[in-house]
Amino acid sequence: MARTPKSGPSEGKTPDTGVNRKGRAPDKAQLTQWYRDMLLIRRFEERAGQLYGMGLIGGFCHLYIGQEAIAVGMETVKKPGDQIITGYRDHGHMLAAGMDPKEVMAELTGRAGGSSKGKGGSMHMFSTEAGFYGGHGIVGAQVSLGTGLALADRYRGDGRVSFTYFGDGAANQGQVYESFNMAELWSLPVVYVIENNQYAMGTSIERSASETRLHRRGISFNIPGEEVDGMDVLAVVEAGAKAAEHARSGKGPYILEMKTYRYRGHSMSDPAKYRTKEEVDEVKKTRDPIEHLRERLEKAKVSEEDLKAIDAEVKKIVAEAAEFARTSPEPDPSELYTDVYLEAAQ
Amino acid sequence: MTDILMPALSPTMEEGTLAKWHVKEGDTVKAGDVIAEIETDKATMEVEAVDEGKITSILVAAGTEGVAVNTPIARLDGEGEPAAEAPKEAPKQEAPKQDASGDPEKQPPEAAKPKPEGEGAAPVAPKPTVELRDPEIPAGARMVKITVRDALRDAMAEEMRRDPDVFLMGEEVAQYQGAYKVSRDLLQEFGDKRVIDTPITEHGFAGLGVGAAMAGLKPIVEFMTWNFAMQAIDQIINSAAKTLYMSGGQIKSSIVFRGPNGAAARVGAQHSQDYSAWYGQVPGLKVVAPYDAADAKGLLKAAIRDPNPVVFLEHEMMYGVEFEIPEVEDWIVPIGKARIRREGSGVTITAHSRMVGLALKAAEELAGEGIEAEVIDLRTIRPLDHETIVESVRKTNRLVTVEEGWGPMGVGAEVIARVLEHAFDYLDAPPLRVHQEDVPLPYAANLEVLSLPSVEKIVKAAKAVSYK
């Protein structure tokens, strides 16, 4: 594949994201939508934690609480047909992409109504309709796969962009850099979104990375990158729009390092002894993405009743999802041997 | 009024100690507040409230040990949501759980039991709706001589002409024309969009290929040799083979991984290995290992059209060998069907890839000694066509398997297991395996010869099972 000559600075229009580049505040409806979407993820994840505690969800369950602004903000930037792919901390991305909370929760409980018919589990869900390509359990594998989605976009010339998410842990995997190299070499339309929540399971970034400023990890491949406050949905959207525009206009990949924090342990069985309670509390108190947005909404004169109505709506959706996830039947035993192969045309 | 239940905090926790309460009766809590600490065998964990409300009673005192998961530990006066109730038992679908007691009455019904591949009722690969058959060669069709290398090349070229979603990527496939010249002239015909030179980065480009396949394209990923694909095996197995299943049928990976497999000549241990058994074990993959030019072409075309990921194992020593191939338009050989290369009634010899040639030579020698061998070319390792093998053994009552890979857990071991399952009573002698000696392949010419299967070793094994 030939290298695409790089064009000059983008002449393209600023994408319509609800955020004006000149700093004018997004409108009330947009702010409210973000709030609702972020709250949905948080309440959903809290409920998932509860169902796990009740033994209804098995195995691993990685909650997205604290990181909601990233998935929700980037969804605003995404256009129809664009693809998303991420690792195992994927529930928030699926909800942001518009997958049915019932199907996501029922997959967590391993039921026939789950988005993978109960055969994937927490880390393995997909929806071509929502442009969501998983849900991958091998740390870093999604980076090559996401770059491959971008290869398909470039091959077809359909103007799509692949949003490829990974964490600070995956950022140390070799295939990430193999992918960076090819993405830049072939000008593939991919935005690498690094969700730097500071801890790769129990190992802090300081203990695992020689260069902790992960947005600089593309330098030797000539991939531009920037650091973003991943706890601020407006900052996410603004940076995301710029990165997507770069990729969509044929200039190749772009790296966004979202500085964020996960409130819960790596998975449900992680007591998180590698960090202090004070550290977690401090983030919750000062940087919480939802509280932050709620304050903006109050300033934008969104009424208390409106916020309460959103709370109630979200609560209802989550309660219904949980109910569906508990009552949906287990997959029929006959499903054991389905979806292993597709039948070849004769 | 809802119960707060003793939570499970790990995949294996069944009970724990309620170490400490952070709230007392009468306190009001909101979602996210830490209400208690629980000790498990592994750690101490905090329990957070999921609903808001007032703690009306604490049912299990701090310090209580052995509290079973899902025991009510406190009562909350809140809005009362269904999720805080005791979990309802999932509506069971008679999941095929084995009962540890071994009581036959408690075992799952026959239909629910997982079946090994090939037992019919639960096929690992869907049973084709029509009988797999090689294409008819029309009377008067011209036979042309062609190398395996060019047959593979023609297969790719024909499929790339037929389907614009098919493309080739790998190291040196474009400008260099292929490290073994298998992709000769493809760049000239299809351009650099569809014949892509990659950096030396197997893990990465295999992943890119699978990602492109997930997006609906039909990549052919060439590994310069299968030895290098060890770097990429995670993407082949964890991403390509499993995603259809994990997605409940939503995401397919129509992709071919191909390249030379097995021992070349004097290239040492790291460049000489047969991966048939490795990939043959993985559900979700199809594994093909052709011998001659007609099968190389016909099976590669079938592999490219197949909607599943296919591991296509070629052989460097066969690339330059010429065979006759019928001049037939769209020559396609079905995946999953073995081929009887030589009929005989004395002993069945199975082989694949380059070993088929050795087996045929051995059969000639054996004929000279009065043993008529039936040589079965497996062609496809997965799904393995054991029907053809079993039928043959029922006739010959004797079996020798030949493979270039190591013996333990190998293709021959699997062939023999299938024969034992389906034709135990027909065997007149214990089957024997011929395979690479159980050592890394040596470099020294004499040791290399000693290590690999040979005509002589096959003849010896066939005579042994014939008690001659």
For residue A266, what pLDDT is reported? 87
Token match 């442009």: residue?
A131
Non-local (6+) Cβ contacts of A272 within 8 A are A202, A264, A265, A266, A280
Q: Are B215 and A23 in contact (CB under 8 A)?
A: no
Residue B245 has its nearest CB partner, among A149, A330, A340, at: A340
Nearest-CA neighbor of B356 among B311, B289, B299, B297?
B289
- Residue that wins the pLDDT comparison between A270 and A91: A91
Neighbours of B104 (CB within 10 A): 7
Rounded Cα–Cα distance for residues B95 and A111 (Å): 12
Establish if A109 touches chain B: CB-CB under 8 angstroms.
Answer: yes
Rounded Cα–Cα distance for residues A343 and B123 (Å): 12
Structure tokens at B417: 């297991």
CATH topology for B143-326?
Answer: Rossmann fold (3.40.50)
**pLDDT tens for chain B, residues 1 to 468:** 788 888 887 777 888 899 999 999 999 988 778 889 888 777 777 888 877 888 999 999 999 999 988 889 999 887 544 444 444 455 555 444 444 444 444 444 444 444 444 444 444 455 666 788 888 888 888 999 999 999 999 999 999 999 999 999 999 999 999 999 999 999 999 999 999 999 999 999 999 999 999 999 999 999 999 999 999 999 999 999 999 999 999 999 999 999 999 988 888 999 999 999 999 999 999 999 999 999 999 999 999 999 999 999 999 999 999 999 999 999 999 999 999 999 999 999 999 999 999 999 999 999 999 999 999 999 999 999 999 999 999 999 999 999 999 999 999 999 999 999 999 999 999 999 999 999 999 999 999 999 999 999 999 999 999 999
Residue from B37, B48, B203, B271 carrying the catalytic annotation: B271
Rounded Cα–Cα distance for residues B59 and B260 (Å): 68
Rounded Cα–Cα distance for residues A66 and A42 (Å): 8
Please indicate whether, in this complex, the C-beta atoms of A341 and B234 are within 8 angstroms of each other. no
For residue B2, what pLDDT is reported? 82
- Give the confidence band of A346 by pLDDT, cuts at 50, 70, 90: low
Torsion sign, CA atoms B310, B316, B318, B319: positive
Distances from the Cα of A294 to the Cαs of A25, A33, A231, A300, in angstroms?
14, 11, 13, 10
DSSP state of B350: E
Which has the minimum average pLDDT: A113-117, A254-258, B79-83? Answer: B79-83
pLDDT at A270 > cutoff 90: no
Chain B window 215-244: which residues touch A at a Cβ cutoff of 8 Å?
215-217, 234-235, 238-239, 243-244
By C-alpha distance, the chain B residue nearest A338 is B245
Please indicate whether, in this complex, the C-beta atoms of A182 and B217 are within 8 angstroms of each other. no
Kindly report, residue by residue over A198-207, the tens digit of the pLDDT.
999 999 999 9
Which has the minimum average pLDDT: A48-62, A73-87, B341-355, B357-371? Answer: A48-62
Asked whether residue A18 is assigned to any structural domain, the reply reads: no
Q: Are A252 and A212 in contact (CB under 8 A)?
A: no
Distances from the Cα of B210 to the Cαs of B205, B215, B244, B299, B381, in angstroms?
9, 9, 12, 21, 22
Neighbours of B220 (CB within 10 A): 28
* B241 φ/ψ angles, rounded to the nearest 5 degrees: -75, -30
Number of domains in chain A: 1
For residue B97, what pLDDT is reported? 44
Establish if A59 touches chain B: CB-CB under 8 angstroms.
Answer: yes
Asked whether residue A64 is assigned to any structural domain, the reply reads: yes
For residue B84, what pLDDT is reported? 43
Establish if B92 touches chain A: CB-CB under 8 angstroms.
Answer: yes
Residue type, B287: V
ipTM for the assembly: 0.90
User: Which residues of chain A are within 8 Å of residue B119 when distances are taken between CB atoms?
Assistant: none
Asked whether residue A9 is assigned to any structural domain, the reply reads: no
Q: How close, in Å, is residue A177 to chain B by CA atoms?
A: 8
Q: Are B373 and B367 in contact (CB under 8 A)?
A: yes
For chain B, what are the domain ranges? 2-82, 143-326, 339-465
For residue B334, what pLDDT is reported? 96
Nearest-CA neighbor of B151 among B323, B329, B381?
B323
pLDDT at A16 > cutoff 70: no
User: Which residues of chain B are within 8 Å of residue A158 when distances are taken between CB atoms?
Assistant: none
pTM for the model: 0.88
Token match 């059209």: residue?
B305
Distances from the Cα of B444 to the Cαs of B441, B452, B456, B464, in angstroms?
9, 12, 20, 29
With b meaning 16 or more CB within 10 Å and e meaning fewer, what string describes A312-338? eebbebbbebbbbbbebebbebebbbb
Establish if B88 touches chain A: CB-CB under 8 angstroms.
Answer: yes
Rounded Cα–Cα distance for residues B444 and B447 (Å): 5
What ranges in B104-242 are assigned the alpha helix state H?
148-162, 186-190, 202-214, 233-234
Please tell me the class of the B2-82 domain: mainly beta
Establish if B69 touches chain A: CB-CB under 8 angstroms.
Answer: yes
Non-local (6+) Cβ contacts of B393 within 8 A are B348, B399, B419, B423, B426, B427
Residues of the domain holding A44: 28-328
Torsion sign, CA atoms A109, A115, A117, A122: negative
Establish if B124 touches chain A: CB-CB under 8 angstroms.
Answer: yes
Asked whether residue A16 is assigned to any structural domain, the reply reads: no
Neighbours of A300 (CB within 10 A): 13
Asked whether residue A1 is assigned to any structural domain, the reply reads: no
Nearest-CA neighbor of A90 among A48, A113, A123, A43?
A123
Catalytic site includes residue B422: no
Domain B2-82 matches domain B143-326 at the CATH topology level: no
Average pLDDT in chain A: 92
Catalytic site includes residue B271: yes
Q: The domain B339-465: what is its CATH number?
A: 3.40.50.920
Q: Please, which residues bridge with residue A99 across strands?
A: none
Establish if A114 touches chain B: CB-CB under 8 angstroms.
Answer: yes
Interface with chain A: mutation pick from B245, B256, B308, highest number of A CBs within 10 Å = B245
Asked whether residue A182 is assigned to any structural domain, the reply reads: yes
Q: Please, which residues bridge with residue B219 across strands?
A: B167
Residue type, B79: E
Strand blocks (E) in A13-89: 83-86
- Residue that wins the pLDDT comparison between B124 and A97: A97
Angle of CA points A43, A47, A48, to nearest 5°? 115
Asked whether residue A336 is assigned to any structural domain, the reply reads: no
Residue A161 maps to which CATH number? 3.40.50.970
